[in-house]
Amino acid sequence: MPLDRLVLILVIVIAAAAATVWLAAVVAASTMMPIGIFALIPGLLVAYVVWRVVADRLGSDDDDHYDKME
């Protein structure tokens, strides 16, 4: 990957993160939301991702190592 493309991707990602943080700060300041909401949302997202990974690992026949053992 060329260096200029990598730098462009990094700049776009950093700008998007800054815009997201700024927008969240504006919304939080305008609605007076409790601080627990901000901890709850990322926690729920992480729990959902972990749940999906575990469910996929348990339900996948290709990933079952013990079926191939004798």
Query: pLDDT tens for residues 4-19?
Result: 888 999 999 999 999 9
Single pTM value for the model? 0.46
Q: What are the CA-CA distances from residue 61 to residues 55, 56, 67 (Å)?
A: 12, 10, 9
31 vs 65, higher pLDDT: 31
Amino acid at 23: L
Domain ranges of the chain: 1-33, 35-70
pLDDT at 63 over 80: no
Q: What's the rounded Cα separation, in Å, for the pair 1 and 3? A: 6
Q: What's the rounded Cα separation, in Å, for the pair 12 and 34? A: 30
Other beta carbons less than 10 A from residue 24's beta carbon: 13
Question: For residue 33, what are the contacts with CB-CB under 8 A and spacing of at least 6?
Answer: 27
